[in-house]
A and B are shown apart, each in its own frame.
Chain A
Amino acid sequence: MPDFANPADWLPWAFASLMGFSILVYVVLDGFDLGVGILFPLATPGEQDKMIGSIGPFWDANETWLVLAVGLLLVAFPQAHGMILTALYLPVFIMLVGLILRGVAFEFRAKARAQHKRLWNRLFFTGSLMTALAQGFMLGLYVMGLEQTWATYGFATLTAVFLAVGYSFIGAAWLVHKTEAELQHKSLRWARESLWGVVLGIGAVSLATPLVSTRLFEKWLSFPQVLYLAPLPILSGLLIIWLWRMLRAMPFADDRRSWLPFAVSTALFALAYLGMAYSFYPYVVPERLTIYEAASAPESLFIIFVGACVVVPVIAGYSVLAYTIFRGKATELRYD
């Protein structure tokens, strides 16, 4: 734990936590709408409109968490921002192109003439997939300490695929909640068929992490840490089993607990993420730069911290409001 009497000590820690929180929220929220984009070609045109309706009011705000996360990296750890993003130049570029394509395709498909709609649908899928793959690739390289060799590229390619499948899984879990009838059945099937992506993704990162450096090996597998940490993989395993059983039994009568798969998936993502956070702390650039070395001046951090303390709860509040207003089963979007 940091020393709260010393701003140069606790402020970097607070910002690392806030940034970590933003990334987690982003991965869950934009994860589901990217996932819906990846599942897009599997649905009929009528279902596609409903799928769009299920994410329409939210996607703008979901992507804002990415801006907040990278913004916090930029403002709180400027050196790390430069190091990480120049090392990831190409995957970042591919992700940005993907985000551009899917974001605008989303709007264009609703407004352009009918014969162009197929083109925008295709771009929406392509953009979503590119974004997910690029993020997975970055995750892999980051876990490998940003080393650029064929072996790390190979690992990153695996995590790219797993994350894209993992996003389709959480997207399907979202659709289970937001849709009904035929599309809901399809979504349940999609969720069952993509659960492996989550399992393998978490597994690959968990197995690879201790092997990357002796520091990480010590951190995870020395005694007694291994005892304290044991609940993490055990709990994850239980959640996966629960998800699997639930997805096979659903939908329940009267559509009860249709929100549960998404909630459990969120918990699973959070657990996996916590494990990663434990691995990397106190490094922001793995094995090279700690959050304390990379942090901006405490005075500047404090100014942002005050603002963040006021504003983040407000953001959370009106995000909840938006999700409440657009609760229930998705319909086609109407501008009225």
Chain B
Amino acid sequence: METLDTLILSRIQFAANISFHILFPTITIALGWVLFFFRVRYAQTRDDKWMAAYRFWVKIFALSFAMGVVSGITMSFQFGTNWPGFMETVGNIAGPLLAYEVLTAFFLEAVFIGIMLFGFSRVPGWLHMLATFLVAFGTSMSAFWIIVLNSWMHTPQGFEMVDGVAFATDWWAIIFNPSMPYRFAHMMLASFLTVGFLIAGVSAFRWLLGDRSREVRAMLKVGVAIGALLIPVQIFMGDLHGLNTKEYQPAKVAAMEGLWETQAGAPLVLFGIPDEAARTNHMAIEIPGLASFILTHKWDGVLKGLDAFVAEDGTVMHPPVAPVFWSFRVMVGTGMAMLLLSWAAVGFMWWRRARHEGRMAGHWLAVEGLPKPILWALVPMAFSGWIATLAGWYTTEIGRQPWLVQGVMTTEMAVADVPAPLVLGTLITYLAIYAALLFAYIGVIAYLARKAAKGDDGRAIDMSHSGKAGVMALSPAE
């Protein structure tokens, strides 16, 4: 019983830490590239609005980056404090992947972010642009290595087990394991969508506060355009990822679909309350045959149900159904809301462009075209990417249980023998700190937006390349 308690508490603690952590890389991965875009546009056009956009978002980048670094350090220690069995069993594979993440990505970002943040007036323009590029590149590289390791835990290959320890036999197969390309693409798109909606939401907030500056228009358009362009791609990619999961982790797909029995022409369960004890869904609303059609592209295709993953002696080797079922629906639902809102926003800005700015002025989209309700809807959607990303990660990670590395080791095998009350104590402290920091983080973004909307963020000052006249110092006045 003692070990079970420690197991559950350690899992909750790790889940809490990694959930908190992922929020910030999700922002920095794509925001780095968006900042690079702003920086390049500024270099091309010398239009101050791009530099103003850069300066506004680089602060939020710095804050998110710091949150990501400190919560990331926590993760690297928790492998040892709570999950020593993981590295003892698969360390020969996970080790080099993590090492390459630190060596090729972490240092790159951490060193060049200093130049990116504070170097504008100290280094030549090209070096500042290069630093911005390297930081963006570093965050993406970091995502790549982490996704490689995570994907390998879902679809392991290229190794052999000797005396219960994994040894690498083919690094190419390990890195390009079957689910890696889908998961990496899915995560990168998730990051861009998160940032698109964050930028759109914060800019809409500024607009609603009366900010009519040129950069707020540019930012609003960029944010909405990222969302509208990428959400269909993401839905398509999600579908491909699902098909890949069906092939390698059918138990996860069965849990996502709430499918208890193996059957031909399986229905799509739109809503239902999965009941693990009775092994059925209550109050289910289903569309006949649709799940089979989506996953096999045939109306009468056969889908494996959860019953296929219960051993003869009754041992359950499939994930807990309700959390996977629900988080999948939250992810898809959020995605649909993103699709509707971003397309509606682009539609209004495009249809009404002539009335406001007009194509003659070279503007394809007019922010004035946005009706108030759309603008108000964009504001709470600023953090919709977080919800979808977390829900997606819960789907895939809980969906892998009871395995830690699919088919190789269970989560229970990895946990440390730390007294349960100690884990509970640290867990509660982490939760309290994370809740407070999240509150402060969102509060600071809202504060920066308000301050920028009021126009006292130094927008009126000299934006020339030397930047010497800037009063944007981090002085007590700020």
Binding site for B on A (CB under 8 A): 45-46, 49, 52-53, 56-58, 60-61, 63-64, 66-68, 70-76, 78-79, 81-86, 88-90, 92-93, 96-97, 99-101, 103-104, 106-108, 110-114, 117, 296-297, 299-300, 303-304, 307-308, 311-312, 315, 318-319, 321-322, 325-326, 332-336
Q: Which of B417-468 contact A (CB under 8 A)?
A: 417-418, 422, 426, 429-430, 433, 437, 440, 443-444, 447-448, 467
Quick one: which of B96, B100, B467, B478 has the most chain A CB within 10 A? Answer: B96
Cα of A112 to Cα of B102 in the assembled complex, Å: 30
**Inter-subunit contact A322/B96 (CB<8 Å):** no
Q: Which residues of A contact B477 (CB under 8 A)?
A: 114
Known A111-B448, A326-B122; judge A104-B422 contact (CB<8 A).
no
Of A110, A296, A335, the contact of B120 (CB 8 Å cutoff): A335
B129: shortest Cβ distance to chain A, in Å?
15
Q: Which residues of A contact B429 (CB under 8 A)?
A: 93, 97
For the complex with contacts A63-B73, A304-B95, 11 further pairs of A-B residues with Cβ separation under 8 Å are: A49-B475, A74-B87, A79-B88, A93-B81, A103-B69, A108-B440, A110-B474, A300-B92, A312-B103, A321-B111, A322-B115
A277: shortest Cβ distance to chain B, in Å?
21
**Inter-subunit contact B103/A315 (CB<8 Å):** yes
Known A107-B63, A307-B103, A325-B123; judge A333-B95 contact (CB<8 A).
no
**Inter-subunit contact A60/B95 (CB<8 Å):** no
A83: shortest Cβ distance to chain B, in Å?
8
Q: Which residues of B contact A97 (CB under 8 A)?
A: 429-430, 433
**Inter-subunit contact A85/B77 (CB<8 Å):** yes
Which of chain B's residues has its CB closest to A119's CB?
B440
Known A111-B448, A319-B111, A332-B475; judge A82-B88 contact (CB<8 A).
yes
Cα of A78 to Cα of B414 in the assembled complex, Å: 13
In the complex, per-residue mask of B84-96: 1 if CB is within 8 Å of any chain A CB, else 0: 1101100111111
Q: Which residues of B contact A106 (CB under 8 A)?
A: 66
A130: shortest Cβ distance to chain B, in Å?
12
Q: What are 23 A-B residue pairs whose CB atoms fall within 8 Å in the complex?
A: A57-B118, A58-B114, A61-B110, A64-B69, A67-B102, A68-B102, A74-B76, A78-B88, A78-B95, A82-B88, A86-B84, A88-B81, A111-B444, A114-B477, A303-B168, A304-B100, A312-B103, A315-B107, A322-B114, A332-B474, A333-B473, A334-B467, A336-B472
Which of chain A's residues has its CB closest to B58's CB?
A335
Of B67, B69, B91, the contact of A78 (CB 8 Å cutoff): B91
**Inter-subunit contact B66/A104 (CB<8 Å):** yes
**Inter-subunit contact B418/A334 (CB<8 Å):** no
Q: Which residues of A contact B472 (CB under 8 A)?
A: 334-336
Which of chain B's residues has its CB closest to A101's CB?
B433
Q: Which residues of A contact B93 (CB under 8 A)?
A: 300
Of A84, A110, A300, the contact of B80 (CB 8 Å cutoff): A84
**Inter-subunit contact B81/A86 (CB<8 Å):** yes
A265: shortest Cβ distance to chain B, in Å?
22
B430: shortest Cβ distance to chain A, in Å?
8
**Inter-subunit contact A96/B114 (CB<8 Å):** no
Q: Which residues of B contact A82 (CB under 8 A)?
A: 80, 84-85, 87-88, 416
**Inter-subunit contact B67/A104 (CB<8 Å):** yes
**Inter-subunit contact A96/B73 (CB<8 Å):** yes
Q: Which residues of B contact A84 (CB under 8 A)?
A: 80
Q: Which residues of B contact A52 (CB under 8 A)?
A: 474
Of A61, A78, A304, A334, the contact of B474 (CB 8 Å cutoff): A334
Q: Which residues of B contact A326 (CB under 8 A)?
A: 114, 118-119, 122
Q: How large is the interface on B (under 10, 10 to 19, 20 to 34, 35 or more residues)?
A: 35 or more
Cα of A8 to Cα of B104 in the assembled complex, Å: 25
Of A56, A64, A334, the contact of B107 (CB 8 Å cutoff): A64
**Inter-subunit contact A60/B65 (CB<8 Å):** yes
**Inter-subunit contact A81/B440 (CB<8 Å):** no
Q: Which residues of A contact B74 (CB under 8 A)?
A: 96, 99-100
Q: Which residues of A contact B67 (CB under 8 A)?
A: 103-104, 107
Cα of A230 to Cα of B476 in the assembled complex, Å: 52
Known A78-B87, A93-B426, A106-B66; judge A297-B92 contact (CB<8 A).
yes
Known A92-B77, A304-B96; judge A67-B118 contact (CB<8 A).
no
Known A303-B171, A325-B119; judge A332-B80 contact (CB<8 A).
no
A112: shortest Cβ distance to chain B, in Å?
5
**Inter-subunit contact A296/B102 (CB<8 Å):** no
Quick one: which of A75, A90, A108, A326 has the most chain B CB within 10 A? Answer: A75
**Inter-subunit contact A111/B99 (CB<8 Å):** no
**Inter-subunit contact B111/A100 (CB<8 Å):** no
Q: Which residues of B contact A117 (CB under 8 A)?
A: 476
Which of chain A's residues has its CB closest to B102's CB?
A71
Cα of A310 to Cα of B112 in the assembled complex, Å: 18
Cα of A245 to Cα of B475 in the assembled complex, Å: 36
**Inter-subunit contact A300/B110 (CB<8 Å):** no
A323: shortest Cβ distance to chain B, in Å?
9
Cα of A62 to Cα of B92 in the assembled complex, Å: 27
Cα of A79 to Cα of B122 in the assembled complex, Å: 46
**Inter-subunit contact B103/A57 (CB<8 Å):** no
Of B87, B88, B94, B447, the contact of A112 (CB 8 Å cutoff): B447
**Inter-subunit contact A49/B474 (CB<8 Å):** yes
Cα of A101 to Cα of B440 in the assembled complex, Å: 12
Q: Which residues of B contact A335 (CB under 8 A)?
A: 55, 58-59, 117-118, 120, 472, 474
B437: shortest Cβ distance to chain A, in Å?
6
Which of chain B's residues has its CB closest to A311's CB?
B103
Which of chain A's residues has its CB closest to B466's CB?
A336
Which of chain B's residues has its CB closest to A316's CB?
B107
* B71 close to chain A: CB less than 8 A: yes
Q: Which residues of A contact B112 (CB under 8 A)?
A: 318, 322
Cα of A108 to Cα of B442 in the assembled complex, Å: 11
Cα of A78 to Cα of B95 in the assembled complex, Å: 8
Cα of A180 to Cα of B211 in the assembled complex, Å: 42
* B42 close to chain A: CB less than 8 A: no
Of B95, B118, B418, B473, the contact of A76 (CB 8 Å cutoff): B95
Q: Which residues of B contact A66 (CB under 8 A)?
A: 73
**Inter-subunit contact B87/A113 (CB<8 Å):** no
Of B63, B76, B118, the contact of A334 (CB 8 Å cutoff): B118
* B70 close to chain A: CB less than 8 A: yes
Known A86-B417, A97-B433; judge A67-B76 contact (CB<8 A).
yes
Known A56-B114, A67-B73, A325-B123; judge A299-B417 contact (CB<8 A).
no
